[in-house]
Amino acid sequence: MMPFPAGQHILLGITGGVAAYKSADLVRRLSSQGAEIQVVMTEAAKAFISPLTLQALSGRPVRDTLLDTEAESGMGHIDLGRWADTLLVAPASADFIAKLAGGLASDLLTTVCLATAAPVVIAPAMNQAMWLKPATQRNIQTLAADGVHLIGPDSGEQACGDIGPGRMLETWDIISELESLNVKKSLAGIKVTVTAGPTWEALDPVRGLSNHSSGKMGYAVAEAALKAGAEVNLISGPTTLSPPRDVVLHHVRSADEMLNAVKRVATDCDIFIGVAAVADYRPSQIEMSKIKKDAKHVTLELIRNPDILSWVTSQETKPFTVGFAAETDNPLEHARQKLEKKSLDIIAVNHVSADHSPFGSDENQLVVITPDEDIDLGRHPKTRLASTLIDTISKKFHESYKT
């Protein structure tokens, strides 16, 4: 592994506060150590420091507008969130902290914070009275519970003449705090294989059988594993999604092709996560030319596809294995049976109901079942759910080595 921050993509958010002058030094020092910096500024930040200074130091145009068609056609707000390995907001004003705690997406910075699966780190900077106000303290507690990392603030003499807590940390303190967060990446050096998307079982050159799956959840899981420091192989059925940067992508179509790809990579992985919606059956034969539609009735003979997860868990040295289940009736009970039948370590369950289907949606609701407990991860955007799921998997994976 390269020493931090070399090669890291750091999205630096700058909000309105006098401490914004320190952000220029932060950009300079992180860049000179090999990090790539993309600055995103709020309108208020521009009153304190010029975007031109930050553009010159980071070598990239500063982004400041959410609804900017030209910038969005290049790297839009979703892509910015994906690009970032870490999202650092320094200085983070009281106003920005309140917006983040409230889940607002009212400008580019708050929107990227909401869209990213990368760790969000904030370095607050404000007058001591503003910092100590119950509203700010409530917001800080909310952010901590949401998994946002807080660095600082420092205490001492403030630009306004007050003395107390609220000063932004100095550049080197921020860098060393970032470094220690980075060292704590929960899956650093761990090899993870993820299957995603549907499979396509051809009937003839134009027709086939498939399952409902956009691949969004599997891709989000692969991305969250990457952000946690893992080396990720993503074995994907047909989807229209662009893969996360830095995964090793294996395109497959049928369940058989998926199994072959799994056989190539999964024997050398530590954690296997089967998110793919694998078709249970395939036509017994594939016609070489398009089947004519003259007949009134057509009978298809289907044969059972291999169960990929069961193949993985039947190996002598099996990885820590996680399955997914989408169930309509008694989801927890059925999922528990599947956990046992397929010898899984964890199964993540979607409840599919008339009023909520996870297919194609950006949101999902998951319960994680292990042999010892059920953990309700709640309903959230798939990106956020994926990072909570990866945190849970990582914890259980490391525990399994202690027992």
> Closest distance between ligand C5P and the C-beta of residue 348, in Å?
8
- Label the pairing between strands 86-92 and 36-41: unpaired
Kindly state the DSSP code that residue 311 receives in the 8-state scheme: H
Q: Which of 305, 321, 387, 392 binds ligand C5P (CB under 6 A)?
A: 305
Closest to 158 (Cα-Cα) out of 224, 59, 65, 91: 91
Site for ligand C5P contains 307 (CB under 6 A): yes
Site for ligand C5P contains 391 (CB under 6 A): no
Q: Which of 324, 331, 370, 393 binds ligand C5P (CB under 6 A)?
A: 324
Site for ligand C5P contains 325 (CB under 6 A): yes
Q: What are the tokens at 185?
A: 């990446």
Q: What are the tokens at 382?
A: 């798939």
Q: Which residues are catalytic?
A: 160
Helix, strand and coil percent figures for the chain, each rounded to 5: 35, 25, 40
Which residue type is seen at 281? Y
> Closest distance between ligand C5P and the C-beta of residue 359, in Å?
14
Stretch that binds ligand C5P, among 58-66, 116-124, 318-326, 358-366 (CB under 6 A): 318-326
Decide whether 166 or 274 has the Cβ nearer to ligand C5P.
Answer: 274
Closest to 220 (Cα-Cα) out of 261, 275, 272: 275
Site for ligand C5P contains 274 (CB under 6 A): yes
> Closest distance between ligand C5P and the C-beta of residue 44, in Å?
47
Q: What's the alpha-carbon Rg for the chain, to the nearest Å?
A: 24
Site for ligand C5P contains 211 (CB under 6 A): no
Q: Are 228 and 220 in contact (CB under 8 A)?
A: no
Residues 251-270 touching ligand C5P, rule: CB under 6 A, are 255
Stretch that binds ligand C5P, among 54-62, 264-272, 323-331, 391-399 (CB under 6 A): 323-331
> Closest distance between ligand C5P and the C-beta of residue 265, in Å?
14
Alpha carbons within 13 A on the beta-carbon side of 133: 12
Q: Which of 39, 125, 168, 309 binds ligand C5P (CB under 6 A)?
A: 309
Q: Which of 278, 367, 368, 393 binds ligand C5P (CB under 6 A)?
A: 278
Decide whether 101 or 247 has the Cβ nearer to ligand C5P.
Answer: 247
Residues in the chain: 403
Decide whether 76 or 274 has the Cβ nearer to ligand C5P.
Answer: 274
Closest to 115 (Cα-Cα) out of 125, 130, 104: 104
Beta bridge partner(s), residue 282? 303
Closest to 224 (Cα-Cα) out of 213, 234, 214: 234
Q: Are 53 and 70 in contact (CB under 8 A)?
A: no
Residues 125-164 touching ligand C5P, rule: CB under 6 A, are none
- The Cα–Cα gap between 143 and 138 comes to 9
- How many residues touch ligand C5P (CB under 6 A)? 14
Site for ligand C5P contains 323 (CB under 6 A): yes
Which positions touch ligand C5P (CB under 6 A)?
A: 195, 255, 274, 276, 278, 280, 305, 307-309, 323-325, 338
